[in-house]
Chains A and B, each alone.
Chain A
């Protein structure tokens, strides 16, 4: 047997379970009434730059590209507009985000993020030094996951950054291993430190 996490379970595991349960029970992942994106929600150049920067902070460049490098920022904006990650779902408790609500009760994530980061920066977020930008995003992220029920718009943004990155060619096939035609199934291998996760393990993508 190997070591690793012993005993207990963390929130991440429970949320994976919740996703599975929703699938098994057939609970709609998104609310029924959706409206089309409004023209005045088209992102500004600054918002695009901001989303690219934040993407790169979440998945930075190492020996492989970062999320900002592979266009994750624009994909996040696209995905939000199309309601991915329940982005068009009306909030249960909208009061906290009243300034950013659409008429359908969903949040304008991009506008929220811009205001939120600037507020935390005490000015223009993008003008801050890299270490401060990282610290601000780290804090925002930590707060979003404190409770399972948190409706922080950050969760959808971060989820879409990860989707954008790990389904990009670099993320899927350089950072991870992309094997569209494995050709075999090996049921028991040692997981050595250099063993890259398979990006196209679809069952794990669904249920991981």
Chain B
């Protein structure tokens, strides 16, 4: 099989690469390691809980044996388990004294089916962060380089949100915002008045206005997105980029095929294609192309480069610098506060809004006011009322219990901090020297720990959150300043960072490998710092920008 371009992976960025490259007229092969999932044919989407064997809770015994990591994902349950990997069949290793929960979805659409849909722009506070405090290496781009690509992506995927005019969280091309509930409206006012901080509705890739030309309806407020949405109301590969790419007639999709190596020709200094394993029968195959885009997900793209070592590149493809695999990151997150707002009992809501709220970053912007850290953190969360599940945790039986659970319960507000994760050489990916998967491919080994900067940020976040809740009239009942295990933010990134200098970075400002011009890495692997925003929107914008550059270079004969 010969193509103009091969895209490895079909998730959030793979779908974008396929769309952009096919729309530019290139013949594209998109290879996905997981099974095919057809839009509109989501097996559990419309099932009522009483139709599910274990009522939506799922088989905890099975999960403990075969999904011990994936089951930690809040989105993981009996309805959605088919949208997550089986950990037993998809092993990875961790370095001694390291812990990392790698939350994954191997299927057509990848994690675009299960993502949290939060879509935030980075600002120049983020792009200058490494240069300013000396951690990591400087980004070769700034906000102005990416702004038009954010515009393009937002308009296509559909992001609902409120414009707030914040320099640290730039406004985008928003569809109308979803509404803050009664408690969140109150807290927004209090936090603005008393602290000058901004609590705003989550900027989420759920449509509030249908995109009828693309066959996508507005959100129905079910909040069951991770089952798959036949309304096409949230952005996924299936609902959005895949139909656009297919419509060009230029796309070939192969599923159930793990790319195990990218082939490199030392004579031309070009990659020539990929080799893959058919997961159904273990047979090997290959495909060739004029250029290759890696969109396998941050850690898997790095894994693939490491495993593509050759005589010419014994330390891994695209690793002339020796930094491939280093400076991986994940946001340090924790539950900073829970506060009760009993004064709002008597008010309630209707409908399941598929987003929470965000409190935009406010530390270490123009004034360096972080205590023990130089980066930012922001909060996500929301206000909610307890329901029947609360009955599991309190004494009570009989009619009194039934009556109590008949109406919505106590209002509480939750704020979860996401702190910027400093890039460190000690946090890195390597190939496990011994362990392999069922196809003989070396397992990825993850070495990861948060450091004193993240600890300090979360300590300040906890104190700030309690202060804000108390000032807003809430009754703080608990809070934490301890980061969760790495991976739990599901924002793992880095390992093939972008930079100015081929000696200290893997990619140039076009997400192009410094030393191999027809190889691009446009997923989370390219990140040189983490900021504190959810990263997917930035990955998409970088992918669209890289595709545009790659097509121009191809046409100019430069690659």
Contact = CB atoms under 8 A, between A and B. Distances in A.
A62 interface: yes
A163 B488 contact: no
The residue among B71, B338, B397 with the most chain A CB atoms within 10 A of its own CB is: B397
B222 A21 contact: no
A23 interface: yes
B345 A185 contact: no
A38 to B, nearest CB: 13
B393 A11 contact: yes
A95 interface: no
B480 A84 contact: no
Interface stretch (B7-15, B409-417, B502-510, B529-537): B409-417
Interface string B26-63: 00000000000000000000101110101111011111
B60 A208 contact: no
B302 interface: no
Contacts of A172: 48-50
Contacts of A202: 223-224, 352
Given A26-B101, A182-B352, A166 B393 contact: no
Contact of A185 (B71, B353, B405, B407): B353
A105 interface: no
Nearest to A4: B345
B398 A60 contact: yes
A58 B59 CA distance: 24
Given A30-B64, A167-B55, A182 B389 contact: no
A3 B386 contact: no
A166 B386 CA distance: 14
Given A32-B68, A60-B402, A162-B392, A25 B54 contact: no
B220 A204 contact: no
Given A176-B388, A195-B407, A202-B352, A190 B50 contact: no
B397 A191 contact: no
A31 interface: yes
A190 B347 contact: yes
Contact of B72 (A14, A26, A138): A26
B342 A169 contact: no
Contacts of B61: 34, 36, 81-83, 88
Nearest to B57: A84
Contacts of A142: 395
Nearest to B231: A181
Contacts of A57: 397-398
Contacts of A29: 60, 71-72
Given A15-B393, A30-B60, A196-B407, A58 B401 contact: yes
Nearest to B179: A187
A2 B343 contact: yes
B72 A185 contact: no
A159 interface: yes
B534 to A, nearest CB: 15
B402 A197 contact: no
Nearest to B219: A185
Given A201-B387, A208-B387, A2 B346 contact: yes
A144 B395 contact: yes
Interface in B192-237: 220-224
A57 B402 CA distance: 11
Interface stretch (B144-152, B180-188, B514-522): B180-188
Contacts of B63: 30
A129 interface: no
A29 to B, nearest CB: 7
A193 B385 CA distance: 15
B340 A189 contact: no
A197 B351 contact: no
The residue among B338, B382, B391, B401 with the most chain A CB atoms within 10 A of its own CB is: B391
Contact of A138 (B222, B349, B398, B407): B398
The list of the 5 closest CB pairs from A to B, nearest first, reads: A2-B346, A4-B345, A185-B351, A208-B386, A167-B49
Interface of A: 1-17, 19-21, 23-32, 34, 36, 57-60, 62, 75, 78-79, 81-88, 134, 137-138, 141-142, 144-145, 155, 158-159, 162-164, 166-169, 172, 175-176, 178-191, 193, 195-208
17 contacts: A2-B347, A4-B346, A25-B485, A26-B484, A29-B72, A36-B61, A83-B60, A86-B60, A167-B55, A176-B406, A185-B353, A193-B407, A199-B388, A201-B385, A204-B385, A207-B414, A208-B409
